[in-house]
Structure 1
Amino acid sequence: MNLGSDVVITITGIVLVFAILVLLMAIVTLEGKIFDGMNVKKAAAKAAVPKAPEAKPAAPVQQAAPAPVVEEGIPGDVVAAIMAAIHAMGNGKYTLKAVRRSRNGWSKAGVNDTTAPF
Protein backbone atom coordinates (compact mmCIF):
# COMPACT_ATOMS: atom_id res chain seq x y z
CA MET A 1 0.00 0.00 0.00
CA ASN A 2 1.14 3.49 -0.56
CA LEU A 3 1.13 6.35 1.92
CA GLY A 4 -1.73 8.20 0.21
CA SER A 5 -4.33 5.46 0.76
CA ASP A 6 -3.23 5.00 4.40
CA VAL A 7 -3.82 8.68 5.09
CA VAL A 8 -7.24 8.61 3.38
CA ILE A 9 -8.32 5.55 5.41
CA THR A 10 -7.12 7.13 8.67
CA ILE A 11 -8.86 10.46 8.02
CA THR A 12 -12.04 8.66 6.93
CA GLY A 13 -12.03 6.63 10.14
CA ILE A 14 -11.51 9.69 12.36
CA VAL A 15 -14.23 11.66 10.55
CA LEU A 16 -16.62 8.71 10.82
CA VAL A 17 -16.00 8.30 14.56
CA PHE A 18 -16.57 11.99 15.29
CA ALA A 19 -19.68 12.08 13.06
CA ILE A 20 -21.19 9.18 14.97
CA LEU A 21 -20.32 10.84 18.31
CA VAL A 22 -22.07 14.04 17.21
CA LEU A 23 -25.09 11.98 16.10
CA LEU A 24 -25.22 10.22 19.49
CA MET A 25 -25.01 13.57 21.29
CA ALA A 26 -27.92 14.86 19.24
CA ILE A 27 -30.01 11.76 20.00
CA VAL A 28 -29.33 11.96 23.75
CA THR A 29 -30.11 15.68 23.82
CA LEU A 30 -33.36 15.12 21.91
CA GLU A 31 -34.40 12.35 24.30
CA GLY A 32 -33.65 14.64 27.26
CA LYS A 33 -35.87 17.37 25.84
CA ILE A 34 -38.67 14.87 25.16
CA PHE A 35 -38.57 13.50 28.71
CA ASP A 36 -38.36 17.00 30.21
CA GLY A 37 -41.46 17.94 28.25
CA MET A 38 -43.26 14.84 29.50
CA ASN A 39 -42.32 15.68 33.10
CA VAL A 40 -43.57 19.25 32.70
CA LYS A 41 -46.91 17.96 31.35
CA LYS A 42 -47.25 15.53 34.26
CA ALA A 43 -46.45 18.26 36.79
CA ALA A 44 -48.95 20.62 35.17
CA ALA A 45 -51.63 17.92 35.20
CA LYS A 46 -51.02 17.24 38.90
CA ALA A 47 -51.14 20.94 39.74
CA ALA A 48 -54.34 21.50 37.72
CA VAL A 49 -56.38 18.82 39.48
CA PRO A 50 -57.61 20.18 42.82
CA LYS A 51 -57.62 17.59 45.54
CA ALA A 52 -60.82 17.02 47.45
CA PRO A 53 -60.36 16.94 51.19
CA GLU A 54 -59.96 13.34 52.20
CA ALA A 55 -61.44 11.97 55.35
CA LYS A 56 -58.60 10.80 57.50
CA PRO A 57 -59.17 7.48 59.19
CA ALA A 58 -58.81 7.43 62.93
CA ALA A 59 -55.32 6.58 64.03
CA PRO A 60 -55.08 3.01 65.23
CA VAL A 61 -54.56 2.67 68.92
CA GLN A 62 -51.13 1.26 69.54
CA GLN A 63 -50.58 -0.75 72.63
CA ALA A 64 -47.36 -0.20 74.46
CA ALA A 65 -44.99 -3.04 73.76
CA PRO A 66 -43.63 -4.77 76.83
CA ALA A 67 -40.03 -3.96 77.68
CA PRO A 68 -37.62 -6.48 76.18
CA VAL A 69 -35.91 -9.00 78.43
CA VAL A 70 -32.29 -7.91 78.48
CA GLU A 71 -29.42 -10.10 79.63
CA GLU A 72 -27.31 -8.61 82.36
CA GLY A 73 -24.24 -6.73 81.19
CA ILE A 74 -25.72 -5.33 77.95
CA PRO A 75 -25.81 -1.51 78.10
CA GLY A 76 -29.06 0.36 77.53
CA ASP A 77 -27.73 2.30 74.54
CA VAL A 78 -26.97 -0.98 72.74
CA VAL A 79 -30.53 -2.16 73.38
CA ALA A 80 -31.87 1.19 72.14
CA ALA A 81 -29.77 0.93 68.96
CA ILE A 82 -31.01 -2.60 68.30
CA MET A 83 -34.62 -1.53 68.86
CA ALA A 84 -34.23 1.44 66.53
CA ALA A 85 -32.72 -0.73 63.80
CA ILE A 86 -35.53 -3.29 64.07
CA HIS A 87 -38.14 -0.53 64.01
CA ALA A 88 -36.55 1.19 60.99
CA MET A 89 -36.10 -1.98 58.96
CA GLY A 90 -39.56 -3.36 59.71
CA ASN A 91 -41.50 -0.07 59.39
CA GLY A 92 -42.72 -0.49 62.95
CA LYS A 93 -44.37 -3.90 62.62
CA TYR A 94 -41.72 -5.80 64.58
CA THR A 95 -40.90 -5.51 68.26
CA LEU A 96 -37.90 -6.55 70.29
CA LYS A 97 -38.70 -9.23 72.86
CA ALA A 98 -35.29 -10.23 74.21
CA VAL A 99 -31.62 -9.30 73.96
CA ARG A 100 -28.97 -11.80 74.97
CA ARG A 101 -25.34 -12.36 74.20
CA SER A 102 -24.43 -15.01 71.69
CA ARG A 103 -21.33 -17.09 71.38
CA ASN A 104 -18.41 -15.64 69.51
CA GLY A 105 -19.28 -16.07 65.84
CA TRP A 106 -15.71 -15.52 64.68
CA SER A 107 -14.44 -18.71 66.29
CA LYS A 108 -17.23 -20.72 64.65
CA ALA A 109 -16.46 -19.13 61.28
CA GLY A 110 -12.78 -20.05 61.67
CA VAL A 111 -13.62 -23.65 62.46
CA ASN A 112 -15.97 -23.86 59.49
CA ASP A 113 -13.37 -22.33 57.20
CA THR A 114 -10.56 -24.70 58.17
CA THR A 115 -12.67 -27.85 58.23
CA ALA A 116 -14.73 -27.25 55.09
CA PRO A 117 -14.44 -30.00 52.48
CA PHE A 118 -12.78 -29.15 49.21
Structure 2
Amino acid sequence: MIGKYHLIKNFWIACAHQVYGAGKCERVHGHNYKVTFCIEGTQLDEQHMLIDYRVIKEAIINKYDHHLLNEFPEFNPELGGVSPTTERVAEIFFVEIDRLCKEKSNHPTVSWIEVQETEEATVRFERMVT
Protein backbone atom coordinates (compact mmCIF):
# COMPACT_ATOMS: atom_id res chain seq x y z
CA MET A 1 0.00 0.00 0.00
CA ILE A 2 1.35 3.40 -0.90
CA GLY A 3 -1.20 5.59 0.81
CA LYS A 4 -3.48 6.16 3.74
CA TYR A 5 -7.25 6.56 3.74
CA HIS A 6 -9.07 9.29 5.70
CA LEU A 7 -12.83 8.87 6.11
CA ILE A 8 -14.48 12.08 7.31
CA LYS A 9 -18.18 11.88 8.13
CA ASN A 10 -20.67 14.07 9.93
CA PHE A 11 -24.16 13.61 11.29
CA TRP A 12 -26.58 15.44 13.57
CA ILE A 13 -27.88 14.30 16.94
CA ALA A 14 -30.33 16.03 19.28
CA CYS A 15 -29.58 15.72 23.00
CA ALA A 16 -30.41 17.51 26.21
CA HIS A 17 -28.02 18.05 29.08
CA GLN A 18 -27.54 19.88 32.34
CA VAL A 19 -24.11 21.25 33.27
CA TYR A 20 -23.87 21.93 37.00
CA GLY A 21 -21.94 25.02 38.02
CA ALA A 22 -22.30 26.60 34.57
CA GLY A 23 -24.79 29.43 35.15
CA LYS A 24 -27.90 29.19 33.00
CA CYS A 25 -26.60 25.89 31.59
CA GLU A 26 -27.48 24.33 34.94
CA ARG A 27 -31.03 24.20 33.63
CA VAL A 28 -31.92 21.28 31.39
CA HIS A 29 -31.58 22.42 27.79
CA GLY A 30 -30.89 20.84 24.44
CA HIS A 31 -28.69 21.11 21.39
CA ASN A 32 -28.67 19.81 17.86
CA TYR A 33 -25.06 18.65 17.90
CA LYS A 34 -23.18 18.30 14.64
CA VAL A 35 -20.74 15.42 15.07
CA THR A 36 -17.84 15.10 12.61
CA PHE A 37 -15.18 12.43 12.88
CA CYS A 38 -12.14 11.17 10.98
CA ILE A 39 -11.19 7.51 10.65
CA GLU A 40 -7.76 6.64 9.23
CA GLY A 41 -6.17 3.48 7.98
CA THR A 42 -4.06 1.81 5.33
CA GLN A 43 -6.18 -1.31 4.87
CA LEU A 44 -9.78 -1.67 3.75
CA ASP A 45 -12.17 -4.35 4.95
CA GLU A 46 -13.89 -7.01 2.83
CA GLN A 47 -16.42 -4.37 1.71
CA HIS A 48 -13.56 -2.12 0.54
CA MET A 49 -14.20 0.35 3.38
CA LEU A 50 -12.23 1.47 6.41
CA ILE A 51 -15.43 1.04 8.39
CA ASP A 52 -19.08 1.32 7.48
CA TYR A 53 -19.76 4.76 8.94
CA ARG A 54 -23.42 3.83 9.34
CA VAL A 55 -22.34 1.52 12.18
CA ILE A 56 -20.78 4.47 14.00
CA LYS A 57 -23.67 6.82 13.32
CA GLU A 58 -26.23 4.25 14.43
CA ALA A 59 -24.33 3.32 17.60
CA ILE A 60 -24.27 6.91 18.82
CA ILE A 61 -27.69 7.96 17.56
CA ASN A 62 -29.44 4.82 18.79
CA LYS A 63 -28.03 5.34 22.27
CA TYR A 64 -28.11 9.12 22.79
CA ASP A 65 -30.48 10.80 20.29
CA HIS A 66 -33.39 12.62 21.96
CA HIS A 67 -32.20 11.71 25.45
CA LEU A 68 -30.99 13.61 28.49
CA LEU A 69 -27.27 12.86 28.57
CA ASN A 70 -27.14 13.17 32.37
CA GLU A 71 -29.25 10.00 32.63
CA PHE A 72 -26.39 7.87 31.26
CA PRO A 73 -23.78 6.66 33.79
CA GLU A 74 -20.92 7.96 31.64
CA PHE A 75 -22.38 11.49 31.89
CA ASN A 76 -23.42 11.37 35.52
CA PRO A 77 -20.73 12.29 38.08
CA GLU A 78 -22.81 10.73 40.87
CA LEU A 79 -22.50 7.38 39.05
CA GLY A 80 -18.77 7.70 38.33
CA GLY A 81 -19.16 9.52 35.02
CA VAL A 82 -18.31 13.02 33.89
CA SER A 83 -20.32 16.21 33.47
CA PRO A 84 -21.81 16.36 29.95
CA THR A 85 -19.91 19.42 28.77
CA THR A 86 -19.23 19.59 25.04
CA GLU A 87 -15.63 18.61 25.75
CA ARG A 88 -16.73 15.45 27.54
CA VAL A 89 -19.39 14.65 24.94
CA ALA A 90 -16.64 14.72 22.30
CA GLU A 91 -14.40 12.51 24.44
CA ILE A 92 -17.11 9.92 25.19
CA PHE A 93 -18.19 9.76 21.54
CA PHE A 94 -14.51 9.37 20.54
CA VAL A 95 -14.14 6.44 22.94
CA GLU A 96 -17.23 4.76 21.46
CA ILE A 97 -15.98 5.19 17.88
CA ASP A 98 -12.55 3.92 18.95
CA ARG A 99 -14.18 0.80 20.42
CA LEU A 100 -16.01 0.14 17.13
CA CYS A 101 -12.78 0.57 15.15
CA LYS A 102 -10.92 -1.89 17.38
CA GLU A 103 -13.50 -4.55 16.52
CA LYS A 104 -12.47 -4.37 12.85
CA SER A 105 -9.92 -6.81 11.41
CA ASN A 106 -8.36 -4.08 9.22
CA HIS A 107 -7.57 -1.96 12.31
CA PRO A 108 -8.69 1.56 11.36
CA THR A 109 -8.25 4.28 13.97
CA VAL A 110 -10.26 7.32 14.87
CA SER A 111 -7.93 10.30 14.74
CA TRP A 112 -10.30 13.08 15.83
CA ILE A 113 -13.89 14.04 16.46
CA GLU A 114 -15.57 17.43 16.50
CA VAL A 115 -18.80 18.16 18.33
CA GLN A 116 -20.42 21.44 17.38
CA GLU A 117 -22.80 22.54 20.10
CA THR A 118 -23.79 25.94 18.67
CA GLU A 119 -22.82 28.01 15.65
CA GLU A 120 -20.12 29.61 17.83
CA ALA A 121 -18.81 26.59 19.77
CA THR A 122 -17.10 23.43 18.52
CA VAL A 123 -14.85 21.06 20.44
CA ARG A 124 -12.27 18.82 18.78
CA PHE A 125 -10.94 15.79 20.64
CA GLU A 126 -7.88 14.17 19.07
CA ARG A 127 -5.91 11.00 19.55
CA MET A 128 -2.62 11.69 21.31
CA VAL A 129 0.37 10.95 19.10
CA THR A 130 3.04 9.13 21.06
Judge same fold: TM > 0.5, yes or no.
Answer: no
**Structure (1 or 2) with the greater strand fraction:** 2
The two structures have a TM-score, normalised by structure 1, of 0.21
- The structure with higher relative contact order (CA 8 Å, sep 6+) is 2
Per the normalisation by structure 2, the TM-score is 0.19
Q: Which has the larger radius of gyration?
A: 1
More helix by share: 1
